[in-house]
C-alpha cells in the first residue's frame, strides 16, 4: 500500500525508492503489480481508481486536485 499511496501522490519511481529505502527496480516491479491488480495501464488511472475504491485518501486540504487544473 505504501507504493500505491506514493504513486497516487504523484511520486516518481526514484522518489518512491528513496522514500521507502528500496531499489528503483523493485519499485518498478511493485508499480507494475499495482497497475495489473487495479486493471489499469498507467499511473494516473491507478491513482484515480485507488482513490475511487478508497484505497488511498483524497487530496489533503490545500493540495492540488484534478478539479483545480486549469482554474
Reported as a single tens digit per residue, the pLDDT across 28-49 is 999 999 999 999 999 999 999 9
48: which 3 cell numbers? 484515480
CATH level 2 (architecture), domain 2-68:
Orthogonal Bundle (1.10)
Residue found by looking up cell 503489480 in the block: 33
pTM: 0.76
What pLDDT, on the 0 to 100 scale, is given for residue 71? Answer: 38
pLDDT at 60 > cutoff 80: no
| CA–CA dist 34, 70 (Å, integer) | 29
Q: In the chain, where are the structural domains located?
A: 2-68
Amino acid at each position: 500500500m505504501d507504493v500505491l499511496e506514493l504513486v497516487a501522490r504523484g511520486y516518481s519511481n526514484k522518489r518512491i525508492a528513496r522514500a521507502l529505502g528500496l531499489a528503483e527496480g523493485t519499485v518498478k516491479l511493485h508499480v507494475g503489480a499495482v497497475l495489473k491488480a487495479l486493471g489499469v495501464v498507467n499511473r494516473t488511472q491507478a491513482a484515480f481508481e485507488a482513490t475511487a475504491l478508497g484505497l488511498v485518501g483524497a487530496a489533503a486540504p490545500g493540495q492540488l486536485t484534478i478539479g483545480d487544473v486549469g482554474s
